[in-house]
Amino acid sequence: MCGTGGSEAGRAGQVTSGAVTDQQVADQRVAGGGPQDVLLAADGRRYVSPAPLARDLRSADARDRPSRNDSLTSQLSSVIGGPVGDHALIGRARFWTPVRVLMLFSVLFLAFGWFGKAGCLQQTTTAEGALTLDWNNSRQYVAMCYSDTVPLYGAERLNEGAFPYKKAWVEKNPDGTAEIRYMEYPVLSGLYQYLSMRIAKMWDALPLPGALQVVIYFNVVAVGLALAWLITVWASAMMCGRRIWDAALIACSPLVIAHIFTNFDALATALAATGLLAWARRRPVLAGVLLGLGGAAKLYPLLLLGPIVVLCLRADPMAHPHRQAMRLRDIDGLPALGRWLRETPYRTAIFATRPLGSGVLTVGAALGTWAAVNLPIALLFRPGWREFFRLNTARHADPDSLYNVITSFTGWAGFDGDLGHAEQPIVLNMVSLLAFVTACVVIAYIGLTAPRRPRLAQLCFLVIAAFLLTNKVWSPQYSLWLVPIAVLALPHRRILLAWMTVDALVWVPRMYYYLGLDHKGLPEQWFTATVLVRDLVVVGLCALVVYQIYRPASDLVRRDFVDDPIGGVVDGAPDPRRPWLPEGLRPRLARV
């Protein structure tokens, strides 16, 4: 990205302009130079380097150099010495490697994110002298520091030390009715909150610097989320291949400042990114386990299984590889059964050599892992476990959904009309589900019939974007789901930076809309207008991704004979010579 670590290599790459004789070479060695200081040209002449050469003269010449080919990055690099030198040995830096620079950027922007929420951690005393949070005069909205973590500490009864999904309480609704409530988050997110609460209470009980328990709890949660985001950046960088500096857009995203500590979504992004990395490294079972864990934290990592299966369906030749392992029909007793079980790793390895076999292993491992995490809670605390699904079914259209945007500008009463707080929007649920399923069918059709097989990141981005656009809920922190996969799918820096900035700025009218007109807040249409702009930008990104699927020559990732850095078993795999899919689902010939 810049010239870090390139000065020594640059000096080593410079040579004197004239050829030297054997006597001059000998004089140079006597003067202190060594054999490594003599360069042999293609025409047989030898040159003397003015400075000692680097020990390793290899250079990662295929690595993308944004400081040289991107005007925005080139201007930014002037802060630390300008673009990388012409003679720099790329990839030979001893300390400031790309990953370490990315980690530094990530920590810096995570710090900005924490300071953005710090205003809501201020403490004050009540009239009775008790210590409490200073949210007076709607500080959480005026300072735009609101985080779900703080109010949920009391709302989910974590302050009582209660175990999630076991603890129940009665909550009064705005319409005067009451209902029994439980922890509203998926199992892994709920257990993370419980563990953070136990650490916060332990800290509070020890003779350590003190604060309100909710403040300690927020900071414990923030440390875990920061580590999860660092893992997200690292895994994404590993998947960028020769374009490793694209991951700087993840580390330095404005959405990190706005929403990394708004909720617990960084847990899911870390598991989704590492799951895709495992798939890229042809570890289908590990990929499934990580995606299954991600689905137990937030549901969206399970959506990534769809693109994996689609690409495996397209690439699989449906030819069974030769194998010598025992078959089920050969089991005729306990010794044979024992042999069959011992051969399971071998059968799995053989099965994983096929694209469709890898896809099946990943899906099976993901669903099995999700079930293994959820089953104990579902059996022991069934009402609490069902709360997440019940609440999502009963929720009405959130203020930041497209359905509410239409209502805001037209006065439309919605698909279900005026509903009470506890009434389920049955028609809205059905429309939202059908819209998403339709979008997935279209994406699958594109993946199967495009002239060249799309990259996995492209289809994953389309699926996640379709889910957010068609869903009745788009909480602000959900935009973090798109950040890593957008960088992998569409690494156009200015375009992505513009989208991330627009999406992050939606937070401003959102907070002032929640402030209310009585407290000099903004009208609803100011907020919904910015939501509409955000959605249109995301639709535009989807259009660009589809365009590059059908015009792969415009895809920056696929330059220099690269196919799919995260494709795993389908990376570089041609379409089957004997297509087995129906005629309507086979690849189309590219237009001339």
pLDDT-based confidence at residue 353 (cuts at 50, 70, 90):
confident
Residue 72 has pLDDT above 90, yes or no: no
pLDDT grade, residue 322 (50/70/90)? Answer: low
Tell which residue, 247, 223, 225, has the closest CA to residue 99. 247
Region 524-546: mean pLDDT is 96
Distance (Å, rounded) from C-alpha 178 to C-alpha 295?
Answer: 31
Is the pLDDT reported for residue 96 higher than 50?
yes
Q: Indicate if the pLDDT at residue 348 is higher than 80.
A: no
Q: Is the pLDDT of residue 175 over 80?
A: no
> Per-residue pLDDT for 314 more than 70?
yes
Q: Encode burial over 209-247: b for 16+ CB neighbours within 10 A, e otherwise.
A: eebbbbbbbbbbbbebbbebbbbbbbbbbbbbbbbbbbb
pLDDT tens digits, 237-276: 999 988 999 999 999 999 999 999 999 999 999 999 999 9
Q: How confident is the model at residue 326 (pLDDT cuts 50, 70, 90)?
A: low
Residue 334: per-residue pLDDT = 76
Query: Residue 31 — very low, low, confident or very high, per pLDDT cuts 50/70/90?
Result: very low
pLDDT of 298 reads: 94
HSE-CB at 390 with a 13 A cutoff on CA atoms is 14
Evaluate if residue 13 carries a pLDDT over 80: no
Question: Residue 335's pLDDT is what?
Answer: 77
Average pLDDT over residues 155-159: 93
Q: Which amino acid is at 436?
A: F
* Per-residue confidence (pLDDT) for residue 296, from 0 to 100: 96
Tell me, what amino acid is at 411?
G
Least confident of 18-32, 96-110, 443-457: 18-32
The residue-averaged pLDDT of 426-445 equals 96
Predicted confidence at residue 20, as pLDDT, reads 46
Beta bridge partners of 181: 169
Higher pLDDT: 143 or 325? It is 143
| Farthest CA pair distance, the chain | 100
Distances (CA, A) of 452 to 281, 447, 461, 550, 588: 22, 9, 18, 7, 8
At 433, is the secondary structure helix, strand, or coil?
helix
> In sequence order, what are the residues at sequence separation of 6 or more whose Cβ sits closer than 8 angstroms to the Cβ of residue 167?
157, 160, 182, 183, 384
pLDDT at 312: 94
Is the confidence at residue 14, as pLDDT, over 60?
no
Residue found by looking up tokens 């990662």 in the block: 60
Identify the CA nearest to 190 among candidates 166, 160, 169, 219: 166
- pLDDT of 453-497, one tens digit each? 999 999 999 999 999 999 999 999 999 999 999 999 999 999 999
> Given pLDDT bands bounded at 50, 70 and 90, which one contains residue 590?
low
How deeply is 106 buried, as exposed, middle or buried, from its count of CB atoms within 10 A (0-12, 13-18, 19+)? buried
- Alpha helices, DSSP H only, in 381-455? 382-394, 402-410, 426-449
User: d(Cα 262, Cα 394) in Å, to the nearest integer?
Assistant: 23
Per-chain mean pLDDT for the chain: 86
pLDDT for 115 equals 96
Q: Supply the pLDDT for residue 328.
A: 58
Residue 377: predicted pLDDT? 96
Strands (E) in 49-158, as ranges, are 123-125, 131-133
Q: What pLDDT does residue 422 have?
A: 75
Q: What pLDDT is stored for residue 167 in this prediction?
A: 92
Contacts of 6 (CB under 8 A, 6+ apart): 84, 85, 88, 89, 90, 93
Q: Which residues contact 311 (CB under 8 A, 6 or more apart)?
A: 355, 359, 447, 453, 454, 456, 459, 567, 570
As a whole number of angstroms, the distance between CA 506 and CA 534 comes to: 8
Rounded to the nearest 10 degrees, what angle do helices 213-239 and 98-118 cross at?
A: 150
Any idea which of 38-42, 72-76, 136-140, 487-491 has the lowest mean pLDDT? 38-42
Name the β-bridge partners of 242: none
